A and B are shown apart, each in its own frame.
Chain A
Amino acid sequence: MTEERRTVVRTQNVKKLYHMGNVEVHALRGVNVEIFAGEYLSIMGPSGSGKSTFFNMVGGLDKPSEGKVYIDEVDVAQLDAYELAWLRCRKIGYIFQSFNLIPVMTALENVTLPMVFAGLTSDEARDKGMELLKKVGLAERHSHKPYELSGGQQQRVAVARALANDPAVVLADEPTANLDLRTGTEIIELLRAMNETSGVTVISATHDHKMLSVSDRVVWVKDGRVDHIANRQELQIEITKVAGE
């Protein structure tokens, strides 16, 4: 296996069962997916398909009822609370649909918070934070609070924050859902650029078909199973098909 095909996330027959009152809901019915380092992967599927559940599993936010999830070859189910926090802090960067910047902190403080958790000194954190803000094109707005920034700018700060501790994986949950078409495209392109320059793996859950064109692979989830996985070559055809639907 070559370096670029190193596996970062692997799921093994992952099942998830919810109990809603007396009703059993099979959110996932056995999912096997391997995600490689440096790839840009999109998870697509209608709401209720198990997409979110799968996404949360991959991000170490939820544990499977059955099966295994490995992140960087570590079995997530084996981790205690401290190790999970460690994993989230250093190995995974999260980007949310609603941006989720900490409202009382400036853009720079938001970006440096994960670094503070990771034990960087405030000088180191500030330098690195400014560097990241520069990369997302917001260096001059570093002292602005989230409410002083537009949605697109907030999401840029969130992208910088996700990259704070040089994670292995960036997880983006519908990152464009609260943005208009143009800003959404900008965020997608930014994520793609980060993915290409720093080699970070990007996994995003989305309905957004704009995402398809930049993805290396797309996993389609349907009824708690992987319906099919399309890679780059096949994607062009998919897009035409989707557009035709």
Chain B
Amino acid sequence: MVAQPHRLAGGREITLPFSKAVEISISNLKIRFGRSLITTSGVILAIAFLMSVWSSNAIVEELRAANKSEINLLLQKNGIDTGLTDAGHASAEAAARMREEKSKQTWLITLSLLVCVVGIANAMLMSVTERFREIGTMKCLGALDSFIVRLFLLESTFQGSAGTAVGIVIGFLLTLFLALLDYGTYVFRYFPTAGILRSALAALVVGTLLSLVGAMLPAYRAAKMEPVAAMRSDT
């Protein structure tokens, strides 16, 4: 008689509670803190760059909107078109210059974020290769592919969102400092609170998504590892 296993089962299935998965992935990050820090620094840099571009745009926008002659003077000194130039053709030229500037910015941001994703994927792939025995063992203990995927995605997401948070703070503070040098306390008088918060939130989403995307292929590779890998005795 060939019985199916679920008929032999005590009825209960195989599970990995979310809280347990969180616990495992956090301790995984802790034990490899140095390595996590290096991976995370990539995220920090990329997000700091993104945040500084966004927040300096927001600050400048707000100052331009204030439309005060002394501020406009400062803006023009920093090469920013205030939209108040006397000659119409000069203004069009300035607008074109700004558009070009904008697209260059977008290009730079895209590039830096791409480099960041590749960095995350690379680090996670290394981590997967290194942990073949651990992954194999988990599978021998009854872990499903989805458990392994969940662990790696969680790990990368935690790492990514922590890095993103730090990046946001660094990027913002740096921009604020530079803006203070350029425009003095006008920055505080016309502070774009809503714009900065919106940028921070967007950056948080972008950073977390990037870490998730970067970890997808490695997590899939890990999940497809055979349990027999646990038996390998080399390395």
Contacts and interface: CB of A to CB of B under 8 A. Distances in A.
Interface of A: 52, 56, 61-62, 70, 72-75, 78-79, 81-83, 85-92, 94, 96-98, 100, 102-105, 113-114, 116-119, 161, 165, 173-174, 177
B4 A114 contact: no
Nearest to A112: B20
Interface of B: 1-6, 8-10, 12-17, 20, 24, 27-28, 30-31, 133-134, 136-145, 147, 226-228, 230-231, 233
Contacts of B133: 98, 100
Interface centre among A83, A97, A116, A117 (most CB of B within 10 A): A117
Contacts of A87: 5
Contacts of A96: 137, 230-231
A17 to B, nearest CB: 17
A116 B228 CA distance: 21
A104 B3 contact: no
Given A88-B141, A98-B133, A119-B14, A104 B231 contact: no
Given A83-B6, A102-B137, A118-B142, A73 B227 contact: no
Nearest to A92: B140
A116 B17 contact: yes
Interface centre among A52, A62, A118 (most CB of B within 10 A): A118
State the majority secondary structure of interface residues on B.
helix
A117 B230 contact: no
Given A74-B2, A100-B133, A103-B31, A85 B142 contact: yes
Nearest to B131: A103
Contacts of A116: 15-17, 20
State the majority secondary structure of interface residues on A.
mixed
A90 B139 contact: no
Given A70-B2, A85-B139, A117-B16, 19 more contacts: A52-B231, A61-B140, A61-B228, A61-B231, A74-B4, A78-B2, A83-B6, A85-B143, A89-B141, A89-B142, A94-B230, A96-B231, A103-B134, A104-B24, A104-B27, A104-B30, A113-B138, A117-B15, A119-B15
Contact of A74 (B5, B15, B20, B228): B5
Interface centre among B9, B147, B226 (most CB of A within 10 A): B9
Contacts of A113: 138, 141
Nearest to B234: A98
A173 B231 contact: yes
24 contacts: A72-B3, A72-B8, A73-B2, A79-B5, A81-B144, A83-B4, A83-B6, A85-B14, A85-B144, A88-B227, A90-B9, A90-B10, A94-B137, A94-B141, A98-B233, A100-B137, A102-B137, A104-B28, A105-B24, A114-B142, A117-B143, A118-B12, A119-B12, A119-B15
Nearest to B11: A119
B231 A56 contact: yes
Contacts of A88: 139-142, 227
Nearest to B19: A122
Contact of A86 (B30, B142, B147): B142
Contacts of A74: 2-5, 8
Interface centre among A61, A78, A79 (most CB of B within 10 A): A61
Contact of A89 (B2, B14, B27): B14
A143 B233 CA distance: 27
Contacts of B138: 102, 113
Contact of A61 (B13, B142, B227): B227
